[in-house]
Amino acid sequence: MKNTAIYPGSFDPITNGHIDIIERASRIFGGVVVAVLNNDEKKHLFPVAERLAFLRASLKHLPNTVIKTFDGLLVNFAEKCGTNLIIRGLRMVSDFDYEFQMTLTNRQLNPDLETVFLMTDAKYSFLSSSLVRQVASFRGKIGHLAPPAAAAALKKKFGGK
């Protein structure tokens, strides 16, 4: 899987900001593995199976993108995938502190692992999964924040526009 990169996340739910990063990464790298973290210790709004379905529906136009789940350490998953490239999206400067810490930790665990940061499009710089969930919970408009499959599921769960 030379020149394949992993884009990890919980994607609970996937947002248009995630889509932006994945589309751009798919043009840069030969392949992109969108890796959904399965972490039983974290409370998710949607189970893994639904998050995978949202991703499949939202990314079917990207032939060099595959969707997988993982648990445990990202460095171990990267090794299983046969790649040393990680993609992380940055929305604003505050994201960098956390991402820098994670990158250095991963590098301590696997010195060959490289992280590539992609800045999100400015129109998505405010957007996060938690914000989309919150807007949906108050029955606000979310069609411009999340892809159709995720937006429909959120509307069904909370009601709304």
As annotated, the active-site residues are 18, 42, 91, 129
Q: How many CB atoms lie within 10 A of CB 151?
A: 24
Q: Which residues of 53-90 are buried (b: 16+ CB within 10 A; e: fewer)?
A: bbbeebbeebeebebeebeeebbebbeebebbbbbbbb
DSSP 146: S
Query: Reduced to 3 states, what is the DSSP secondary structure of residue 84?
Result: coil
Q: Report how far apart, in Å, the C-alpha atoms of 143 and of each of 34, 44, 53, 136, 154 are.
A: 22, 21, 17, 10, 10
Contact between residue 61 and residue 32 where contact means Cβ atoms under 8 Å apart: no
- Distance CA(133)–CA(155), nearest Å, equals 10
